[in-house]
Amino acid sequence: MTMICSGCESELASHLVCESCGALQVCEESPTPFASMGLEPSQAMDSGALKKRLVKLSRAMHPDFFGNSDAATQQLAIDNTAELNAAFEILASDMARADWLVRSLGGPDENSERQMPQSFLIEVMEWNELLEEARDSGSGSPEYESAQKLGVTLQAERAAIMQGIDAALTPLPEAGSPTLTDVRKQMNAVRYVDRALEQLAELAVQANH
Amino acid sequence: MAYSDKVLDHYNKPRNVGSLDKASANVGTGIVGAPECGDVMKLQIEIEGDRIVDAKFKTFGCGSAIASSSLATEWVKGKTLDEALSINNTEIVEELSLPPVKIHCSVLAEDAIKAAIADVKNKRDSEKG
């Protein structure tokens, strides 16, 4: 969907601001996160390039630069900056990006495909047992060392599952494709991994106190 | 959000924590999880004939998840498999006064009971061959 600047009529990349003439754009509906950032929908994302886009667009629409404008324009700068930041939050996270793409293609939401294989749940049980032992034994203990090793394993496991998700979403499947169901299952597995990684991080914080 | 007294009671004094011999023909094991919070719950039952004579659980999760599974083990003990199958998550919600955001914990406990029963039935059927 091509959008035209309401000021200079050049083609817009970001739907929030014209990068040719600098005019803030009035959006009747929230643009998609990709449209806010001026990117094609894609699971693959260069995080460095994304940050550069954020900085460039932030400069173009930052409310501080519209201090002398009329009230409506000032408000537009605030609203569009908020849109931009929300878009960045989604696009910067591999999971949030995949979630958005799966939803936008009509795939199952995060409350679907919850049933995990027993073997996987047994694994999750074992992570938690290890975490509990590490928590009880404290830093320096062999249990704590094992938990650290678990962290490395989980990072690798996460990367492997994410790679599968990225591959399944590249190129983007057709709307309603069964691939989206598989992706959602994999994403639910990642949520367990992320929760365990979070707990490992909490463990490390406690150990340093 | 405050936990109800019953949740706190189960959380502080969980009943039937532990494990049963997974390999035993009379033991059924159900492991279920909730991806939104990473909670995971293992519930095991031991049967004699058609009656549940023992139940153990191990849950990693929030207070409500622990209380739900603790209560579930208490409730299934002494029941027949069919009676235990009829335990509904809403009964757990009512007993523990779980708030709406914690309803999934009771669903988890119900699923764990059902999974444990399915497992032991499965074992029994395959023994009969």
Q: How confident is the model at residue B129 (pLDDT cuts 50, 70, 90)?
A: low
Q: For residues B29 and B74, what is the distance between their CA atoms, to the nearest angstrom?
A: 16
Smallest Cβ distance to A125: which of B31, B35, B36? Answer: B31
Q: Do A128 and B35 touch (CB under 8 A)?
A: no
Query: Which own/partner contact pairs does A148-153 have at CB distance under 8 Å and 24+ positions apart?
Result: A148/A200, A150/A196, A150/A200, A151/A197, A151/A200
Instruction: Kindly list the residues from chain A whose CB atom is less than 8 angstroms away from the CB atom of residue B34.
Output: 114
Asked if residue A120 has pLDDT above 90, the reply is: yes
* Level-2 CATH architecture, domain A1-92: Orthogonal Bundle (1.10)
- Considering only alpha carbons, which residue of chain B is nearest residue A109? B36
B85 touches chain A (CB under 8 A): no
Q: For residues A177 and A92, what is the distance between their CA atoms, to the nearest angstrom?
A: 25
- Domain boundaries along the sequence of chain A: 1-92, 118-207
Q: What is the pTM of this model?
A: 0.88
B18 touches chain A (CB under 8 A): no
Q: How confident is the model at residue A204 (pLDDT cuts 50, 70, 90)?
A: confident
Instruction: Kindly list the residues from chain A whose CB atom is less than 8 angstroms away from the CB atom of residue B37.
Output: 195
Q: How confident is the model at residue B36 (pLDDT cuts 50, 70, 90)?
A: confident
Instruction: Kindly list the residues from chain A whose CB atom is less than 8 angstroms away from the CB atom of residue B40.
Output: 121, 124-125, 128, 192
Q: What is the DSSP string of A46-76?
A: -HHHHHHHHHHHHHHH-GGGGTTS-HHHHHH
- The verdict on ipTM greater than 0.90 is no
pLDDT tens for residues B81-95? Answer: 999 999 999 999 999
- Nearest-Å Rg of the Cα atoms of chain B is 14
